[in-house]
Amino acid sequence: MTAFTPPALPSEDKRWKIVNGTMRKNGFARRALIETLHTVQSSFGYLDDDSIRFVAMSLRVPLSQAYGVATFYHYFTMKPPGKHTVTVCAGTACYIKGADKLIAAAEKRLGIAQGQTTADGQISLMTARCVGACSRAPVALCDGEVVGEMTRDQVLEQLERWIVE
């Protein structure tokens, strides 16, 4: 039996070395699929067709399985994120304290639905099941920064700051 030789990296982009490191650390084992897809997403911001194909070939998993995992888990996104991202927590505590109103206000102002990015690529509106800051509900993450006790006016003010950049 011949030794497995993983495919060449898709490009010289240093982020591929990080992805390859994750796979190498796990011995290019199939069980590393989710961890490797997480590494791709954290490195590039999203999963595209080329990255999913590369990971599937490298880990010797069927392409259908790699796509199945990438589309099943809510964490993964197949679209590039906007320059800025607001993620509203939709967990129980946040929902009870008005997260739905924050989401509705943002959707109306941006003209997009949750999970989408504005046409100019400036702002992505996301939701999360829970961000673990229930005592500060409702919570939003503005470019990764936790903002607790967020009001409708505060979310709109943040969006306006990003829109005028």
68 residue type, one letter? G
Contact criterion met (CB below 8 Å) for 110 and 123: yes
Residues annotated within the binding site are 89, 94, 130, 134
Dihedral angle computed from the Cα positions of residues 39, 41, 45 and 47, in that order, rounded to the nearest 10 degrees: 140
Residues annotated within the binding site for [2Fe-2S] cluster are 89, 94, 130, 134
Dihedral angle computed from the Cα positions of residues 86, 124, 47 and 18, in that order, rounded to the nearest 10 degrees: -50
Beta-strand relationship, 140-142 and 145-147: antiparallel
